[in-house]
Chain A
Amino acid sequence: MAKIKFTLNNEVVEIDKDLNMRLLDVLRNDFNLTGPKEGCGEGECGACAVLLNHEIVNSCCTPLANVMDKEIITIEGFSITERYRIIKEAFAKTGGVQCGFCTPGMIIATESLLNKNPHPNDFEIKIGLSGNLCRCTGYNLIIEAVKEAAKAGEGLW
C-alpha cells in the first residue's frame, strides 16, 4: 500500500492503495466511475480506455503506479466538454452506437485521435480506432462518426 496522487477528471485525488492494482479497478471500485468497461482484461478490446495526459491508454493494463502525478480523464470527465458534445452528436447522426459497450472507449479513442490529428483521413481513422474492438457495427458507421466529428468540430481540436 502506498499513497498516490493524480488528477482525475480535473480534480486532484489522493488514494492509499496497492500500486500494482489495475487503474481500471481503482476507477470502477474506488471512484465509482463505471464508464470504462472490462471487455477482455488484457489490452485488446479498448472498452476500458481512458485518457492519460490526453493520450488513450487501456486502463486494464495500466498499473496504478503509472498515473502518479499524471492526469486521467475518463468518459465521465470528458462528457462535460464541448468536444464530447460534438463527438456524441456525430455518433448519433451516423449510427455509430449499437450495444454501447465499446462506445465510451470509442469516444475516448476519437478524442485522442482528433487531439493529435484534427483532420485524419480514412486510413488514419482506422489506425486510430484499431485498438478498440466493436462486434456490432462493422466499424464503418463509427469511422463515419469520426469524420463527421472532425468536420462539425472544426477549430475545436
Chain B
Amino acid sequence: MRDISTSINKVDNDEKTSGKAIYVADIKLDNMLYAFTVRSKIAKGKIIKIDYPELPLGYYIVDYKDIPGKNIVKVIFDDMPIFTEGDITYLYEPIALLIGPDKAVLSKLFAEVKIEYKEEEPVFAWKDSVIHYHFDKGLGKSALEEGKIIEYVYQTGYQEQAYIEPQGFIGYLETDKTTLIGSIQCPYYVKNAVIQALGAKDDEVRVIQAAVGGAFGGKEEFPSLMACQLAVALKKIKQPIQLVYEREEDMLVTTKRHPSRINFKASIKDNKINGLSVHVGIDGGATIGLSGVVLSRALIACTGAYAIDNLDVSGDVYKTNTVPNGAFRGFGAPQMFFAIEMFVEHIAMELGLDPLEFSKSILAKQGDYTSTMGVFRDPVLMPEMIEKALEVSDYNNKKTMFKKQQNLKGVGMSLFFHGCGFTGSGEKNIIKAKVRLKKQFDKVEILIAAVDMGQGVKTTFRKLVAHILEIDIDKVIFNNPDTDFVPDSGPTVASRTMMIVGGLVARATKEVKDRWNEGSFVVEKQYEQPDYIKYDESNFKGDAYPAYSWGVNVVEVEVDRFTYQVKVNKTWAFYDIGKAIDERIVIGQADGGLAQGLAYGYLEVMNHDKGKIMQKNMTDYIIPTAMDMCSMETYLYENPYAYGPYGAKGVGELSLIGGAPAVAKAIENAIGKKVFKIPVTPEYIMELMKNGKD
C-alpha cells in the first residue's frame, strides 16, 4: 500500500475550479430579504435617540428589543452584546439590522437613519487591564538579580485575515427550527451562540457550513455575532434573510490579530540566559472575547524554541475603544515568536557571539521542561533541521558576504514551534470532541463538525479513512457539516483538526475495520486526554499542549537602497509536523502560511486613528500579490506523534509563525540596524537608517 503522505488530487477541485462550489453569497432563496447593519458613528458614549425613517411595507428594523434570549454572544468570555442597548464602546458597533427586499431602497433608508449620541472620551491607550496573568518558572524574578542585564521592547501591529470571501450568512425558518448557512469555521460555536440568543432548545437551531472562501481564524468567533443577529431577525420576520458583508464593512468591523508590546529583560551568566522576565501587553479592543486565550498562548511561547530555567512571565489584555480583536492563525504565538527571536538575536549581538551559535547552544531538547514545566516528550529534530537549512540556503556564507556588500541584501533564520491543539485542558474540559462514522453497505460516512476552509479537510479525512480501511476514497463520504447530522467534534481551529479530530476518526475507523462484516452500524468516539497530560490553568503549570510541531525558516531579502522597499528573494522552510497526511496539501499550507507570516513582518500595515481602522479595502491594506512572492523551498520531517493519526501533528498555524522573525532578521542583516517592530516598512527602515542601533 502507498504511504499515506503520497499526494492525491483534492476531492473538491472540480467544483471549485468550475465555479460550481456554493458559497453563502451564491445561495438564493424565494422571498429572500437583505440585511444591512446600522452601526455607531462614535467610539464611545451613549445613544440618546434614534430616528429611523418611515419604513415601506416589507421593511424592518431589528434591534436588541427583539432578542428573545440573552443579549450576549456566547464565546469564551461572554462580553459582546448582539446589538448594543445604548452604550457604545467602539466605532461601528452594531445597533440594529435594517432588512428588506431591495438593496437600493435599503441603501436609501440606511442613509436616513439619524442617531443622537452623548459622546464620551474614548480610551485608546493601553492602560485598562481587563485580564492579568502571571507565572514563574524556577527562581522567577530573583534570577534577574545577578549577571549582565539586557533589556529590549518589541512591538507588533494589527493583521487582517483578508480571506478573499467576506463574512456572510443566510438564514431561514423550517417550522420551529432556525436554520443558518454560513461561511464559518465552527458550526457548534455558532449553534450554541444562537441557542443562547434565542433562548431556544437544542433541536430548534441548525447550522450548516457553506463552502468557505478562506478564514484564517477570522471566521472562528466573529460569525457567531452575525448569526445571533440574523437569528433574531428570522424569528421576527419569518422570511429568508441574507447578511453578507461587503469588503469595506468586513475590514472595518471584524476581528483582527492583536497588536502587542512585549518587554524583555534577561540576565546573562556564562554566555547563557540565566533568567528571563517578560511582559506581554495586547490590545483586546472593546470586548475581551478570545483575548485571554490569545494572551495565554503568547505567554507560554515566551521562551521560543529554547530552554530557559528561570522565568518571570506576565501579561495583560488591555481594553480600548477599538474594534474587538480575535483569532488569527497562530493566536498569540506569531507576536511572541517575533519578539523572542529578535531578543535572542539581539542578546547574542550584544555579547559579541554568533547569533545562530548562541541560539543552538540554548535550543530545547527532548526531555527539557517547557515554560510551564511541562515536558518536550517527543524527539526534537531542530539540530538536524538547522543543519539542513544551513546547507541548502548557504546561510552562513551569505550572512557574512551580505554584511560586507554595498547592496542591501540580507538573510535571516527563525526557529520556532507551535503547541498543537487547544491550550491547557481545553480539549478535555470544554470541547470534549465527539466523532461518528456511519457504515452502510460498502460505504462509510464521516460525521464531524470540521470545516474545509481550503486546508483540505474533505480530502485528508476521506483519505485517512480510506487508507485505514484499504478501500477506495469514493467509498468514503464527507459532506459539509450540518449540526442536524454531525456531532460536535469541536471548532476548526488551533491546528487541532487532523491531530485531535483525525486521531479520533482513525480510532473509530479501526473499529469499523474490525467490524466490517457486521453490515450497517455506527461508531462513535469521544476524546480522551492522554494520561500524562496534566495542566493547571490558573497557575500555568504542566503540559500546556500534548505535542509540538517545529519549524526553521530561512529568508533572503533585498532592500532597495533608495526607496527601502523590501523584496523577498527566496525562502527555505523546514517543518516537523509528525507525518503529512498528504504532502502536497501540507506544502500548500506551508507556502500560504509563510506568505502570511512574511507579509505580517514587512508588508501588511493596519492601524487605527481614534478607533477608526484606516485601511478599509484591498487597495489600502496590502496583502502579497503574485509579484511579491518568491520561490519557496519546503522540507518536511517525519517525527510521528503517538496519538495523531499516522503520527500527524498540527500544520496550519506553524507555517505562519516563523515568517515575521526571519524576514525581520534578514532586513537587519541587510541594513545593519536592529529591528524592534513589525511590519518593517520602508518608513521604519528609513528611521532606523537615520537613528537606529547597530
Contacts and interface: CB of A to CB of B under 8 A. Distances in A.
Contacts of B213: 37, 39, 99-102
A74 interface: yes
Nearest to B7: A95
A41 to B, nearest CB: 6
A115 interface: no
Contacts of B196: none
A40 B623 CA distance: 13
Nearest to A142: B626
A125 B625 CA distance: 12
Secondary structure of the B side of the interface? loop
Contact of A101 (B214, B584, B585, B592): B214
B151 interface: no
A51 interface: no
A104 B19 contact: yes
Chain A interface residue bracket vs B: 35 or more
Contact of A138 (B17, B161, B215, B594): B594
Interface string A83-108: 01001100111110111111110010
Contacts of A34: 19, 22-23, 25-26
Contacts of B26: 28, 34
A130 B163 CA distance: 17
B246 interface: yes
Contacts of B163: 99, 101, 135
A76 B18 CA distance: 6
A129 interface: yes
A136 B454 CA distance: 7
B631 A140 contact: yes
Interface stretch (B8-16, B64-72, B441-449, B640-648): B8-16
A93 B17 CA distance: 13
A151 to B, nearest CB: 18
Interface in A26-73: 28, 32-42, 44-45, 47
B617 A44 contact: yes
A75 interface: yes
22 contacts: A34-B22, A37-B165, A42-B618, A45-B164, A47-B164, A92-B9, A95-B585, A97-B16, A97-B17, A99-B453, A100-B15, A100-B211, A101-B163, A101-B165, A133-B623, A135-B162, A135-B163, A135-B596, A136-B214, A136-B454, A136-B592, A137-B595
Interface of B: 7, 9-10, 12-23, 25-26, 28, 161-166, 211-216, 246-247, 453-456, 584-585, 587-588, 591-596, 617-619, 623-627, 629, 631-632
The 10 closest A-B pairs by CB, nearest first: A35-B19, A101-B213, A100-B16, A99-B454, A138-B595, A98-B454, A138-B591, A44-B618, A75-B19, A34-B26
Given A44-B617, A130-B625, A136-B592, 14 more contacts: A34-B22, A35-B19, A38-B166, A41-B247, A47-B165, A75-B19, A88-B18, A99-B211, A99-B454, A101-B164, A102-B164, A102-B213, A137-B591, A138-B624
